[in-house]
Structure 1
Amino acid sequence: MRETAVIGVGMIPFGKYPEKTIADLGWPAVKQALEDAGIDGRELGAAYCGSALSGMMPGQRILGRMGLSGIPVFNVENACSSSSSALRAAVLAIRSGACDTALVIGVEKLTRFGGGTLPLEREDWEVQQGMVMPALYAMRAKRYMHDFGLTERQLAQVSVKNRANGAMNPDAQMRAPVTVEEVLSSRLIADPFTLLQCCPTGDGSAAIVLADAATARRYRRDPVFVRASDLSSGKHTDGFRDMTMPEITVRGAGHAYEEAGIGPDDVDLAEVHDAFSIAELLYYEAFGFCGRGEAGAFVERGDSAIDGKVAVNPSGGLLAKGHPVGATGAAQAVEVVRQLRGECGDRQVEGARVGLAHATGGGISGFDHGACSIHIFSR
């Protein structure tokens, strides 16, 4: 299969744009990515648009606004993994020779719901019993604290770190640093989570232009290569689920590391799905950045800071950058690519050569998560 590279990226600052439509949100990120790649949009072979809650055909709505209609457009829904699943599909298309260039879009407008938790499917029996995402992750946190002695201060330090990173990211929704005391004293949402340990909802878009290696080198001297692209689905169980070990991410990480020919020690930075503070801690262990039960000490020592052992969520992650669901996976890839190019200013991970992007999609009874997309990039 052909090598695949990223030649252009773009995104808009995540935030709340209640007056804007999906097309309004999407086209500026696409325009930015095309300009970054130096490619005419009419040269694109296909487009893949990831969105969870944007209605029918968001890809056509965005590209139609730009006069780029007519190419094959695939709209992908996979909850929070929507645009990273779209990225996976685009990578496969280029690897197989179906097209030489492809556009990936992630877009979402959550202000349309007026606030509150993400709407889940009422036919799901856990949702019928009152399950919402903050409650689900809160149960994971309480179990982990019970089993491994994680403290409330260690849990809060994830938010402190990511808010500090987000303060250096002009595209982040939340750009004010916070202290541990401020995190712990903010409004209680679902014990042990306070408000500042939950990702903000909002609106946003991100875009990526991909090409095969030969085409990529015609457009830029510094393409970033996709070394691994994995999409895993959850394994359904009606019985006990170990809420402290995200099985789907462990399995996907193994696939991605094998495909890329690397291990955890080779990763310089990782954008992981920190929808709530406990999630980032669980993913330290799932990706092998630290041992089982060691995540609290890992963040406390600064091992996941920008200048630590592995920089986790240098963008600010979902906790600071925001989480417009369908846009998140593409935005993670944008951050990794910019880091590997050395374009991230004060939040730059020095000498970064290998980066990882990880987005899960959940909210279904019987599953750890429903989907998990992992991509590994390198210079």
Structure 2
Amino acid sequence: MERVAIIGASMTQFGQRDAWLRELLVEAGEAALADANVTGAALDHLYVSNMASGEFEGQTGVANALAHDLAATPAYTARVDQTSASGGAGVYAAWQSVASGVSDCTLLVGGEKMTHRSTAEATDVIASLTHPVEYKHGVTLPSFAGLTARHYLETYDAPRESLGKVAVKNHANGVDNPHAQFRKQVDLETVLESPIVADPLRLYDFCPITDGSAALVCCPVSVADEYVNEDEYVVISGIGGATDTHVVHERADLTTMGGVRDSAAIAYEMADVGPDDVDVAELHDMFTILEFLQSEDLGFFEKGAGWRAVEDGVTERDGDLPINTSGGLKSKGHPLGASGVAQVYEVVNQVRGTAGPRQVDADVGLACNVGGFGNCVTTTVVEGAQ
């Protein structure tokens, strides 16, 4: 099996964009190719991570269109849809195409165009990933988040303020991310007094609706230095994907995300690292409670202790384990198909030392992209080339 390098990475501005999906994909794709010093003609495979271009925009065939726009024909193309984990699934597909030896140069572009739809319309599209019986009864992901947050707070005697501190931390990190949708500080009082969405979660516990795109270029490590210098590429040392029950209430413990735990175990074993080796992590904080659940199921903290780590400053940018230095989905934004790719973009920059004012001391980075409420998960470990 080939070892896989990321030789190019890019991310567009996230937020409300006056551009359609196809334009966003081209913007990120061209930037990643330029970062890797390759052209579209060099690509063997081209993947597009996208959840709902047809539902949001009435646009299908986006991967084929992108191959045309990037002059990448006759590259093989495919669209990767794994709901809100489409980006992570795309990273897996791109890694697999190179690791298998089938492709010598692969481009992954993840993107979504969402803000032209109302909040109600966007929420309905996203809710379609739930089980049909749950969907019929009006269940949405925010409702799952509220129920789980209440259960977590009561089970582990966690203060409501600890969830608010996740939002405060991630907004503070987003201030230094030029691509983030929300580049503003918020204080704890603002978070705790914002409107209730799904008790006990309030408006500032949720990520926004977002347009945006991100991209990665992958090749075998054995030829990476033909494109870029050794300090300009990183290695996907471990990657794992897993699923959990589609019906959330069938899980033995609502506060345990089996897909996170299982995908991480695969990625750690492949990379020959453990949770204690990770220097920086990007977690899927679509809701603040998810940062607690993932940080525990990834093995960073004991079960029920994720909230204490936030209270103690462990996950701050200057803490022992910085989490969501990009601002996370909470501040950076969540264009569904792009989010998992943008998470890896952040850890790539942290590991290669190009994260600017967000930079932390990192040799090993981890990204965890979650679909639905843990229905499907991809965990990726990234390390420096040296």
Band of TM-score, shorter chain: over 0.9
In structure 2, the partner of 1:49 is 48
Match of 2:279 among 265, 268, 276: 268
In structure 2, the partner of 1:77 is 81
**Alignment of 1:375 onto 2:375:** no
Moved more, 83-92 or 169-178: 83-92
Match of 1:96 among 87, 93, 100: 100
Contact 2:243 2:258 in 1 (8 A): no
CA distance in 1, matches of 2:131, 2:180: 34
Shift of 1:252: 1.2
CA distance in 2, matches of 1:205, 1:197: 23
In structure 1, the partner of 2:196 is 188
> Which aligned pairs between 1:328-347 and structure 2 lie closer than 5 A?
328-347=339-358
In structure 1, the partner of 2:28 is 29
Match of 1:358 among 353, 368, 384: 368
In structure 2, the partner of 1:201 is 209
CA distance in 2, matches of 1:202, 1:92: 28
**Alignment of 1:229 onto 2:239:** yes
> Which aligned pairs between 1:274-293 and structure 2 lie closer than 5 A?
274-293=285-304
Contact 1:305 1:311 in 2 (8 A): yes
Shift of 1:41: 1.7
Contact 1:232 1:252 in 2 (8 A): yes
Moved more, 19-28 or 255-264: 19-28
> Which aligned pairs between 1:139-150 and structure 2 lie closer than 5 A?
139-150=147-158
Q: Which amino acid aligns with 1:87?
A: V
> CA 1:191–1:59 in structure 2 vs 1: closer, same or farther (change >3 Å)?
same
CA distance in 2, matches of 1:196, 1:284: 20
In structure 2, the partner of 1:365 is none
Shift of 1:349: 0.9
Match of 2:177 among 169, 180, 192: 169
Q: Which amino acid aligns with 1:371?
A: C
> 3-state DSSP class of the match of 1:374?
strand
Q: Which amino acid aligns with 2:42?
A: E
Q: Which amino acid aligns with 1:13?
A: Q
Moved more, 114-123 or 271-280: 114-123
Q: Which amino acid aligns with 1:41?
A: G
Identity %: 35
Q: Which amino acid aligns with 2:158?
A: L
In structure 1, the partner of 2:315 is 304
* C-alpha distance after superposition, 1:262-284 (max 9, x if no partner): 11110001111110000001111
Q: Which amino acid aligns with 1:234?
A: D
Provide runs of 4+ in structure 1 moved above 3 Å.
235-241
* C-alpha distance after superposition, 1:109-163 (max 9, x if no partner): 1124222325222871111111111111111100001100111111100000000
Shift of 1:312: 0.6
Q: Which amino acid aligns with 2:235?
A: F
CA distance in 1, matches of 2:348, 2:7: 9
Q: Which amino acid aligns with 1:34?
A: L
> CA 1:250–1:346 in structure 2 vs 1: closer, same or farther (change >3 Å)?
same
* C-alpha distance after superposition, 1:94-119 (max 9, x if no partner): 11110111000101011242223252
Shift of 1:62: 2.5
**Alignment of 1:314 onto 2:325:** yes
Contact 2:44 2:106 in 1 (8 A): yes
CA distance in 1, matches of 2:163, 2:245: 28
CA distance in 1, matches of 2:100, 2:25: 27
Shift of 1:347: 1.0
CA distance in 2, matches of 1:123, 1:308: 39
CA distance in 2, matches of 1:346, 1:153: 27
CA distance in 1, matches of 2:374, 2:288: 17
Contact 1:22 1:62 in 2 (8 A): no
CA distance in 2, matches of 1:229, 1:102: 17
Moved more, 98-107 or 341-350: 341-350
CA distance in 2, matches of 1:49, 1:215: 24
Q: Which amino acid aligns with 1:160?
A: V
Aligned length: 372
CA distance in 2, matches of 1:14, 1:315: 12
CA distance in 2, matches of 1:236, 1:12: 32
Shift of 1:40: 1.7
Contact 1:48 1:87 in 2 (8 A): no
Shift of 1:346: 1.3
Contact 2:167 2:205 in 1 (8 A): yes
Q: Which amino acid aligns with 1:220?
A: V
CA distance in 1, matches of 2:137, 2:158: 28
**Alignment of 1:106 onto 2:110:** yes
Which runs of 5 or more structure 2 residues have no equivalent in the other structure? 55-59
Contact 1:27 1:63 in 2 (8 A): no
> 3-state DSSP class of the match of 1:84?
helix
Contact 1:22 1:61 in 2 (8 A): no
Q: Which amino acid aligns with 1:107?
A: G
> 3-state DSSP class of the match of 1:175?
coil
**Alignment of 1:5 onto 2:13:** no
